[in-house]
Amino acid sequence: MDHLVIAPVLVPMLAGIVMILAGDRWRGATVSLGLGSTLALAVLSALLLVLADGPVVRIYRLGDWPSLFGIVLVLDRLSALMLVLTAALGLAVFVFSLSRWHRAGAYFHPLLQFQLMGLNGAFLTGDLFNLFVFFEVMLAASYGMALHGSGTARVRAGLHYITINLLASLLFLIGVSVVYGIGGTLNMADLAARMRDVAAEDRALLETGLAVLGIAFLVKAAMWPLGFWLPGTYAAACAPAAAILSILSKVGVYAVLRLWLLLFGAAAGESAGFGGPWLVAGGVLTIAFGSIAVLATQNLSRLAGASVLVSSGTLLAAIGAGQVAVTGGALFYLASSVLAIGAFFLLIELVERGREVGADVLAVTREAFGTGEEEEETQEQEAVGVAIPGTVAILGMSFMACALLLAGLPPLSGFLAKFAILAPLLGTGEAGLPVTTWVLLAALILSGLATVIAMLRAGIDAFWASPAGSVPRVGVIEIAPVALLLALCGALTIGAGPAMDYMQAAAQALHAPQDYLRGVLAATAARPGGGG
Amino acid sequence: MELVASLGIGVLAGSGVWLLLRPRTFQVIIGLSLLSYAVNLFIFSTGGLRSGAAAILEPGEAGSIAQYTDPLPQALVLTAIVISFATTALLLVVLLAARGLTGTDHVDGRERDR
């Protein structure tokens, strides 16, 4: 049963290798292999989610080496949650790409598989250097995905994306080697156990190393001022690639969540809580920057990119608050926002299909400069009494659901998530709340307002003000993935009780990682000196 | 030994950062290469620097753990070299594509307005 833990890495890896060997000749076989792999991943991750929801942290020792000598994969509630989100997004992206995008360039399917492999590996690994390796697998695949479909805009954005990520990887390496030089281990659990005993003169150096490591993660999570690359890259990428890229920024958040709570928890001695205020401040600034970007943009893809920034900022600020209940709410928000943003990126492509090029750019400018008035008058005459076509109605409903989810309005899970973050923040202080809490509160609510305004404007422009007769042609295979992701959000809303219990249990395990430490370190003690 | 190594790393990293901030794509890629050399040397040096030590065993002595250099940084540096080599090669391809598509080697794909 424990071998299941490594399956989410192996399945896409093998599928990807076979796909590359098969090349472009057997497209049908490649597609069915991809379908099999993504479906298998969905089933596997659901199974692992059930397995993880218990007190036991599951450890997989590669090659059966004891965990301090070998490499371990660790499955706890947080990694299982991330696996499920990845699998859901992977399935949606795969199905969506079948309509046209997988033919827009070579090797879409293998790239998607390697992307999933890297993501799953990064979520499962219990070792810093393997985290680096899986990051690189994931990034290498994402370079291909971001460039998929080619074209000047993608290559230009891809150049920036690759350069920034190479630089972040170098920072990651510097951080890892400083941590190894001082801590003497790369195993996360072992490092956490040693945090208290670090010599006083080495502590500053170790903290510096971990801070450099943190910067590498925060570049990935696109914290202000490290996130200027994100909106441009995501807007240039093709729809399925952008949807899968949107979970990449959550990998950075995941790494911060995992390492910060593990290494700088209450057990870390003098280092406890190191960097927390930075996370809160950076998160709030990211929310502010994201909200301004949401309002400023006239392009739907950039709007989606900016809402990725808002969601990253919200998560970082909530994590930085360092309270168990707030972290639980943040995990709920993570699940909801990953699904909603993925659906939104896919939806944008469908919505924009029916519009003439540059219409979105002109929409606001037209109002400001008063041009094109006669055009609107003639449209009004024609548009009177025209029923909204079925396709547009479905797209409009999905768009509205995305807007509600992203802005955090009731009744969908976005609202529950924001409520779950805010309620414990407000409930803690008996003698008045600290200023940071008020700032965070204001940032969260104002970012919701900004998203509502931007989505309303974009929605009116896309569905009500668009010229009649330009109904986008949308296949069932394209709207189904969007519906799947939104339905998952709906399920999260209806099953909010059990889901919230799961998130709170995950948050508790993150804040008090005894089970995690015991699990990994016991795997060492079970066979001392063995494994040769 | 430490001084030479740290000066070398510092010069490489400094030139790398300077080149990375330049506006031409080729300068950026050379900057990234120099930075990755600096990082590789840095990882290597975390295993401890010794001069004049035997590779594995002193002649005529039984080996002991104390004589070994920590092998883990060497394993790390190998992985890091392979990965940064591969991604730099990929970046080079994208650089050429960008040069072909935009007709300029400026990192933003267009010359700055003068």
pLDDT reported for residue A196: 80
Residues of A in contact with B98 (CB under 8 A): 155-156, 159
Q: Could you give phi then psi for residue A348, rounded to 5 degrees?
A: -55, -40
pLDDT digits (tens, 9 = 90+) for A362-410: 454 555 555 444 444 444 444 455 566 778 888 888 999 999 998 888 8
For the CA atoms of chain A, what is the radius of gyration? 23
The answer to whether A161 touches A233, Cβ cutoff 8 Å, is yes
pLDDT at A479 over 70: yes
* Residue A18 placed within a domain: no
Instruction: Pick the residue of A69, A111, A167 with the most B CBs within 10 A to test the interface with B by mutation.
Output: A167
Among chain A residues, the shortest Cα distance to B21 is held by A163
Tell me the residue type at A446. L
Q: Which two tokens stand for residue A1?
A: 């049963």
- What's the rounded mean pLDDT across residues B46-71? 74
Are A177 and B28 inside 8 Å of each other by CB?
Answer: no
pLDDT reported for residue B7: 95
Residues of B in contact with A129 (CB under 8 A): 76, 79
A324-353 vs A476-494: helix crossing angle, rounded to 10: 160
pLDDT at A496 over 60: yes
- Determine if residue A227 is left, alpha or beta; phi over 0 gives left, psi from -120 to 50 gives alpha, anything else beta: alpha
- Domains of chain B, first to last: 2-49+70-102 (1.10.287)
Decide: residue A239, CB within 10 A, 0-12 exposed, 13-18 middle, 19+ buried: buried
Chain B residues at the A interface, defined by Cβ less than 8 Å, are: 20, 25, 28, 32, 35-36, 39, 42-43, 46, 72-73, 76, 79-80, 83-84, 86-88, 90-91, 94-95, 97-98, 101-102, 107-109
pLDDT digits (tens, 9 = 90+) for A156-191: 888 999 999 999 999 999 999 999 988 888 888 888
pLDDT at B95 over 50: yes
Among chain B residues, the shortest Cα distance to A176 is held by B43
* Residue A411 placed within a domain: yes
Are A167 and B91 inside 8 Å of each other by CB?
Answer: no
Looking at the complex, report in whole angstroms how far the Cα of residue B94 sits from the nearest Cα belonging to chain A. 6
In DSSP terms, A127 is beta-bridged to A187
Q: Which two tokens stand for residue A15?
A: 């599928």
Residues of A in contact with B87 (CB under 8 A): 136, 139-140, 143, 162, 166, 169
Q: Provide the domain limits for residue A393.
A: 275-356+388-494
* Residue A365 placed within a domain: no
pLDDT digits (tens, 9 = 90+) for A426-472: 876 566 677 888 888 889 999 999 999 999 988 888 877 765 556 67
* Residue A46 placed within a domain: no
* Residue A482 placed within a domain: yes
Q: Which has the closest alpha carbon to A512: A330, A334, A327? A: A327
Among chain A residues, the shortest Cα distance to B35 is held by A170
Instruction: Pick the residue of A107, A143, A161, A162 with the most B CBs within 10 A to test the interface with B by mutation.
Output: A162
* Residue A409 placed within a domain: yes
Quote ipTM for the complex.
0.92
As a whole number of angstroms, the distance between CA A307 and CA A303 comes to 6
Those residues with Cβ within 8 angstroms of residue A41's Cβ, 6 or more apart along the chain or in another chain: A8, A11, A12, A86, A87, A90, A91, A116, A120
Query: Quick one: how far is CA B38 from the chain centroid?
Result: 4
In DSSP terms, A60 is beta-bridged to A73
| Total number of domains in chain A | 1
The answer to whether A194 touches A179, Cβ cutoff 8 Å, is no
* Residue A168 placed within a domain: no
* Residue A234 placed within a domain: no
Interchain CB contacts (distance < 8 Å): A and B: 87
DSSP class per residue in chain B: -HHHHHHHHHHHHHHHHHHHTSSBHHHHHHHHHHHHHHHHHHHHHTT---SS--SS--TTS---GGGSPPHHHHHHHHHHHHHHHHHHHHHHHHHHHHHHHHSS-BTTSSPPP-
C-alpha distances in Å from residue A23, one per residue of A26, A29, A80: 7, 10, 32
